[in-house]
Chains A and B, each alone.
Chain A
Amino acid sequence: MPVSKSTKLLINGEEKEVTFYNAETLLSVLRHKLGLTGAKPGCLNGDCGACTVNIDGQAQKSCLTLAIEAVGKDILTVEGLDSPIQGAFVDHFAFQCGYCTSGFLMNCHALLTEKKNPSDQEITKWLESNICRCTGYKEIEEAVKSVINFSNKR
């Protein structure tokens, strides 16, 4: 029998009691135990970024994180996100099928929170971590830059 732990995870500001086993990834716990299906199982290999969440403010691929590693940390998923980047994605047509979008938003959010005025090179370095198959990345670039420009003007 697998040894499942009943533990608390802090997700989107809420403390949630969940049961999971040690080898279970955070992605699996978010989706199967908490119904937070925003993070997606694009590859389960850390290659596509569709599962990206924020842990203690840092972008992390939840398929590469054990749920048990996230205990005691501040987990933010797209369902708990409230950021100008979301509206920017909408306005700039920065998604089509939407499957990669949660991951991109969480990565962009971490980037924009950490760096007020990232260079093109820095944006590329961060966003290289996520694959989008529908767009050509141009609209995503415009969305991110629109948020940077806006917050720089304020």
Chain B
Amino acid sequence: MNIIGKSVIRKEAFDKVTGRAKYTADELSVNTLHVKMVTSAYGHAKIVSIDDSLARQISGVRAIIKGSHELPLTGEEIRDRPPLAVDKVRYFGEPIALVVADRPAIAKQAADLIQVKYEPLSVIQSPSEALKADAPIIHENLLSYDKLGSAYPVPNSNIANVTKIRKGNIDQGLKQSDVTVEGTYRLSPASHAAMETRSAAAEIKPDGYVHITTSSQAPFMVKKLISIYFKIDVGKIIVETPFVGGGYGGKAPIQWEILAYLASKAVGGRRVTITYTREEDLTTAPCKVGLEAKVKIGSTKEGIIQAAEILYLFDGGAYSDKSIDVSRAGGVDCIGPYNIENVWCDSYCIYTNHPYGSPFRGFGHSEVLFAFERTMDQLAGKLDIDPLELRKKNAILPGHTTPTQVLLNRSSVGNLPACIERLKELVGWEEGKQVEEIDDRRVRAKGIACGWKTSTIDTDASSGVILTFNPDGSINLISGVVEIGTATKTVLAQILAEKMKMEVEQIHVKMKIDTQTTPEHWKTVASRGIYMAGRAVLAAAEDVIRQIKDMAAQILRASMRDLDIANGKVFLRDDPNISLDFKDIVYGYKFPNGHSIGGQIIGYGNYILRRLTKLDPETGAGQPGPEWTTAAYYVEAEFDKRDFTYRLQKAAMVVDIGQVLNRKGAIGQVMGGMSMGLSHAGRETFVFDELGRVMNPQLRTYRPIHYGENPDYLVDFVKTPDINGPYGARGVGEHGLLGMPAALANCLSAAADANLNELPLTPELIWRSKGAEL
């Protein structure tokens, strides 16, 4: 292969290093009005009154919008969320009102003058609190809400949904187990903290067309949902998305676009823009779910796992939106990548008075793997088996079934044993002990974890691609994948170049999405960008090749079967000198006497994920995704036994992604995921006070990992092709992150000789686990 595998520089590289790449809030125009939000100061409270009289007097204010029962309820599965709070607020940062004004400073000045009076209500700050018999019900009208998906909320409770996994016979499995281990685990909501905060612009033209520009991973979903919520013809909604400054799942939900739309409506359709401050981006916008978990694993004394009994209580926050799907995905892959015949899991999505959850890189998997892989390590300890050996013994393989009872084969599952073996080599696992003393205070410790993931997305998710030609025979590649930093669009160009046997420089990629003219790619999430859009590109390429050959067959008077294409030419397979240049036929062909045939060649292709099903509500059986990618993770840290502090030395990861399409690009995605996973595991969490207020809503107090705090990284790949993926590739956007928190927790648990079952793993947490002695 010529271009597949090569580390092609991303197409938009030079725009990004010169400040010329445009993101949503960079598109400024003089006649745009500015929106500022007023947000909730409490985690749970009745709104007694909203006094905007002073705000209305500020010169330059064009509209003030408050919540009302007239506004439609929003939400992707359960429509439980008013776009602006009505009667009460359910989380700190919830939008209450919008001010639309001539300039940002005026909008802010007016927003600061809006007085909201609250009557605080008791605050629910954890799933287990929410499940108590006397817990206040956050959504009194839970049953009356419309449902768009297949959620099963429980009446008179704070339960938005429960996903049940019932595989085999759990009682039998536990009976067959010589040894069981059990653990409880906890992590609080946290944030994606993308460097670009959420931003949207909206305009409603007199012809009724709604134009929205948004920093989103799901512009096509914006279009659909705004149509449903506001009863507008879906064809009259046009959504544009330029470059996105990081999403990691947090820009898959719809929120800021709704506010922009309401603001524009309030000023007669004039163009408005809203850009969240960092504080709003951290708290108002949807965040990463929290989790309380209980995991029990039973195994024979040789270490063959017989049963897993699991309870996941996801902190979905104040509104369910995408949290339900995250909790569902947590059920789908509720165990690690192991062959376990008897699995019993209840995965709940619970309402609390926290900022509400959304997809976060891994879609529930890193949270679930933290709980499961910590339990695996404890099992290894109890059995006195090397932790990697235990994983390998139980590795899920072709011929085994997943918790949702999908029978796997060599194409649909990666090779976990190979990942483990390669990881061992890469990091020198067999050399030295797991914990080695450096001096009387410090030890060097290693920890591992394994992970896997399939996507849990709509069963009819699809992706489309259009190809058009330029007069020089080069191709424009138009796909609905958003360029959020994954370089997917560049890889699509590589796939096309490979298929067309052209130079990748001859492929021009349209970066910006425009839902009216760009074919839909379901959502740029789930590590399915290349998988789905890559197949659509290949289909479109086949379409174009057929059209080219059709034209050439007429002109060269040969059978289409005797023609081939390469380097921008179509030619006779057995006599390449008989050829036509693309540039002479892609806009139609003109014979010497002037007669012309054909016309502009336009190619199209699409791909839909095949034979996916919903999960059975009682057993969880079903096919949620097309394949399972597997990986092995490693963390090495230097731990100070006196201070309980640690320094990340090395982090390694081996993942089976089939054919690597762009090596440096893939390594970059993986390292970025590893870094984010370690950052979350080591330091990131919201800190709430007793009123449910976020105490650390800034990047100086909510701290992502900084340069110099990161470890050295080692990354490698194992290759088990997925027959369905383009050139045998699997996705890899999320996988770097998945097992990192678990690997770090296992490393530090060994180092500190403690059971560290809570995130983030701060020195204070470790000190507490060791008795909190002064």
Contacts and interface: CB of A to CB of B under 8 A. Distances in A.
Interface in A11-56: 24, 31-32, 35-48, 50
Given A97-B243, A99-B245, A91 B17 contact: no
B699 A99 contact: no
B487 A45 contact: no
B195 A132 contact: yes
Main secondary structure of the interface of A (DSSP, over half): loop
B381 to A, nearest CB: 30
B486 interface: yes
A114 interface: no
B699 A45 contact: yes
Interface in B662-702: 664-665, 667-669, 671-672, 674-676, 698-700
Nearest to B243: A98
A50 B672 contact: no
A132 B700 CA distance: 14
B7 interface: yes
B706 A131 contact: yes
B708 interface: yes
B662 to A, nearest CB: 9
Interface stretch (A66-74, A137-145, A146-154): A137-145
B713 A138 contact: yes
A99 B22 contact: no
A37 B17 contact: no
A41 B28 contact: no
Interface stretch (B8-16, B436-444, B586-594, B721-729): B8-16
Contacts of A79: 18-20
A102 B7 CA distance: 23
Interface string B645-667: 00000000000000000001101
Contacts of B705: 137
B43 interface: no
A132 B706 CA distance: 8
Given A40-B195, A44-B278, A90-B13, A102 B19 contact: yes
Nearest to B59: A1
A62 interface: no
A97 B708 contact: no
B470 interface: no
Contacts of B485: 96-98, 134
- Taking residues whose C-beta sits less than 8 angstroms from the other chain, chain A's interface range is 35 or more
Contacts of A139: 668, 671
Contact of A78 (B12, B19, B248, B275): B19
B484 interface: yes
B463 to A, nearest CB: 21
A96 B487 contact: yes
A35 B705 CA distance: 31
Most buried by A among B9, B195, B668: B195
Contacts of A130: 707
A134 B672 contact: yes
Contacts of B486: 96
A124 interface: yes
Contacts of B672: 96, 133-136
Contact of B195 (A31, A42, A136): A42
Nearest to A98: B16
Contacts of B243: 97-98
A60 interface: no
B197 A42 contact: yes
A101 B17 contact: yes
Contacts of A31: 26, 28
Interface string A78-102: 1101000011011101011111111
Contacts of A50: 195
A32 B10 CA distance: 29
Contacts of B712: 138
Contacts of A10: none
B18 A127 contact: no
B193 interface: yes
Contacts of B248: 133
Given A48-B699, A136-B710, 11 more contacts: A38-B19, A40-B245, A90-B17, A97-B196, A98-B21, A98-B485, A99-B194, A125-B708, A133-B704, A134-B246, A138-B710
Interface of B: 7, 9-10, 12-23, 25-26, 28, 105, 193-197, 243-246, 248, 275, 277-278, 484-487, 664-665, 667-669, 671-672, 674-676, 698-700, 704-708, 710, 712-713
Interface of A: 2, 24, 31-32, 35-48, 50, 77-79, 81, 86-87, 89-91, 93, 95-102, 105, 124-125, 127-128, 130-141
27 contacts: A31-B28, A37-B28, A40-B196, A42-B278, A42-B699, A43-B278, A44-B277, A44-B278, A48-B195, A90-B9, A93-B9, A93-B665, A93-B667, A95-B17, A97-B244, A97-B245, A98-B245, A99-B23, A102-B19, A127-B707, A132-B707, A133-B672, A137-B705, A137-B707, A138-B712, A139-B668, A139-B671
Closest 5 pairs (CB-CB, A-B): A38-B19, A99-B245, A97-B485, A136-B675, A98-B16
